Amino acid sequence: MNRFLAFLRKEFYHIFRDPRTLVILFGIPIAQLMLFGYVMTNEVRNVKIAIVDHSKDDLSKRLSQKLLSSGFFQLSAIPSSEKDYESLFRSGTVKEIIVFEPDFAINLMKTGKGGIQVIADASEPNAAQLIVNYTTAITNNFIREEFTKDQPPAGINIKVRMLFNENMRDAYNFIPGLIAVILMLISAMMTAITIAREKEMGTMEILLASPLKPIQIILGKVVPYMILSIVSALVVLALGMIVFKVPVIGSFTLLLAEILLYIFLALTLGILISTFVDSQLTAMAISGFVLMLPSILLSGFIFPVKNMPIALQIVANLMPPRWFIEINRTVMLKGGGLNEIWPNTLVLAGMSVLFIFISIRKFKIRLQ
Amino acid sequence: MITREPVITVKNMVKKFGNFIANDNLNFEVYKGEIFGFIGANGAGKTTAIRILCGLSTPTSGEMKVAGYDVFRQTEKIKQNIGYMSQKFSLYEDLTVYENIRFYGGVYGMKIAERKARTKEMLDRLGLTAYENRKIGDLPLGWKQKLAFSIAILHNPKIVFLDEPTGGVDPITRRQFWNLIYEAIEKGITVFVTTHYMDEAEYCDRVSIMADGKIVALDTPENLKKQYDAANMDEVFLKIAR
């Protein structure tokens, strides 16, 4: 046991003396939180628009006011004629132009159909779609409020509810995903690098020739990163809950248990990678390429797995984060329990066992 | 102080990597308290043999005992009773002298008081007491190697294995390094060393010369020089290699 403690102490010296390790451990999680929380936001806020009101009646004016006071839009131009539209879009002055037809209010009263044209800059299709959706939603709300007083609104009235994330908050998406990505980074990548480092420096030979058992060496390498991973996961989770107001509706204990399982899996993956490489640089490159990119792109973190081509879906299914993010969302946002997530849990556990099995085999071959 | 009491016995040791035979039927004994040299060109099979005796690699066949323990079944016991220093440098650059010593002391299960006493004695002898809290990475290579050797024998092993320990250092530092080896011998530690420097071969009590995985000669440097009618080990080696 004392041997093991001596080993652990050495590992913590390595971690806290290497600026590169510290950056990966603490810098990257914070940078990613900032990035996803404040920069890469899909939410609509202060979108520059122009409003062209050919009707100038009471209703069109009040609707314009409502749009502008929603906080989503900000009036940036008042084009004098249709000829200006294109240049406004081209120069980026506006992202959307809303045009009220002449006699908008009168038409609406008489026929139940008032014409509003919405022109959006679709050179960024996702953003355009989002802006248009917000505009439509606000308009529909407005009309409904106006007309329920005296007469039912014409046509079919669609009421949409976005279940589990009523306000379409981005944080609901990125916090569960980010936990998966950050843990993969710290647990798998750092484990792979630290073991590769012992090999590269030649100290692995010395350790193997010492009375330390191989299992003690591996545990000694892994335990510090396990502790740091747990701390990191809790910090991101806490920030998500406090700063970004993401709820944990399901069992918190279950969530923590799943996080532990995922950390364990990531560590075994790191060990596995380290059995294939002999230098820190290769370890970093392989972890970066094999782990980071797919865990962001193929895990369903940003792009839904079900929308991918079959070939990519198969690859995505091999990615541990793909199963873990689903667990996170189910437990955190939907309040699901083991009933819903046992298949995912089983996949994660199965992958861990597989990785350990291959690692041990590789290790034995190395000794022969 | 050399006895005829063997601390390493090797009988018919064979190590194959696929079709390649790295160690082809080696037979030798190393006696307690001697400096046993393994000489040979790169790729002759020296490192393979030393790795097997240290329990880092499993032999294909043969009967080997190190410090009285079986190489196949008792590697744990062997590891507790040997020290090992590889050709790659073996201390942690980002740890201080003291932290490295404490780490290896801990790994070999040394009592704290014992470790502290030995550390003090060792640093005094090396003249490194003032550098106790310096990081290894800041020390010159010669110092690091002397330190690595001293740490490899800190737990007082029966045998210390040195795999080309003096690679890349100047002759003076090499000479100083050998003085440390003689001091270890006086403490009763047996030294098993591989090298391709022929001047170092002269310092050994007995040398075995390897070529293509086989031991082609094994005797004291004096006898070898007589046998091959050579002025020094360099000539012996050249004559054998030819």
> Out of A18, A211, A368, whose CB is closest to B108?
A211
- Return the structure tokens found at A296: 């962001």
Determine, for residues A10 and B92 on separate chains, whether the beta-carbon distance falls below 8 Å: yes
What is the separation, in whole angstroms, between the first and last Cα of chain B? Answer: 35
Q: Is B80 on the interface with A (CB under 8 A)?
A: yes
pLDDT band with cut points at 50, 70 and 90 for residue A40 = low
Instruction: Considering only residues B200 and B159, tell me which one the structure prediction assigns the higher pLDDT.
Output: B159
Q: What is the pLDDT of residues A350-364, one digit of tens each?
A: 999 999 999 988 877
Determine, for residues B104 and A210 on separate chains, whether the beta-carbon distance falls below 8 Å: yes
The residues, ordered by sequence, that sit 6+ positions from A142 with a Cβ below 8 Å of its Cβ are: A62, A63, A66
pLDDT band with cut points at 50, 70 and 90 for residue B178 = very high
Q: What is the pLDDT of residues A44-98, one digit of tens each?
A: 778 889 998 888 888 889 989 988 988 889 888 888 888 888 888 888 888 889 8
What is the separation, in whole angstroms, between the first and last Cα of chain A? Answer: 28
Q: Amino acid letter at A128?
A: A
The nearest alpha carbon in chain A to B92 belongs to A203
Would you state the pLDDT for residue A246?
87
Q: Is B106 on the interface with A (CB under 8 A)?
A: yes
> Out of A13, A209, A213, whose CB is closest to B54?
A209
Query: For residue A163, is pLDDT > 80?
Result: no
Q: What is the CA radius of gyration of chain A?
A: 27
> Out of B85, B94, B107, whose CB is closest to A17?
B94
Strand B35-40 versus strand A96-100 pairing type: unpaired
- Reported in sequence order, the residue ranges of chain B that DSSP labels E, i.e. its strands, are 6-17, 20-31, 35-40, 61-66, 69-70, 82-85, 159-163, 190-195, 206-211, 214-219
Would you state the pLDDT for residue B26?
93
Would you state the pLDDT for residue A150?
57
- Return the structure tokens found at A237: 């989770």
